Amino acid sequence: MNIESLRDYCLAKASVAETMPFGPDTLVFKVLDKMFLLVGLNNPESFNVKCDPEKGVELRAEYEEVQPGYHMNKIHWNTIYMNGRLTEQQLKEMIDHSYDLVVSGLPKRKQDLLK
């Protein structure tokens, strides 16, 4: 997966917007104004996604490409390196998990907007 396919995959999800709230070097994908993925444009071989804490510990133990979130809350965010042994399907599953976690944390009325 490269940054173009990562961007296309994120933008295909319901109610997703791309923003640059941290400046021109960091692309942020949000669902209804809540972040679920960040990618540095100067370093597009990795991205940050939200993750269930227990699942995050398991993924970090199993894959060296999954690290605690760089410049993020290390309990709830992972940095994922795309140039390792993770398949595109696994990368997409991590993106989906992050998106779903953020959606599940939204108020019910906002979740209903996505249906």
Q: Where are the domains of the chain?
A: 3-107
The CATH T-level fold of domain 3-107 is Aspartate Aminotransferase, domain 1 (3.90.1150)
Per residue in 30-40, pLDDT (tens digit) is: 999 999 999 99
In this predicted structure, what is the pLDDT of residue 43? 81
Per residue in 70-89, pLDDT (tens digit) is: 888 888 999 999 988 999 99
CA distance 13 to 70: 24
pTM to 2 decimal places: 0.94
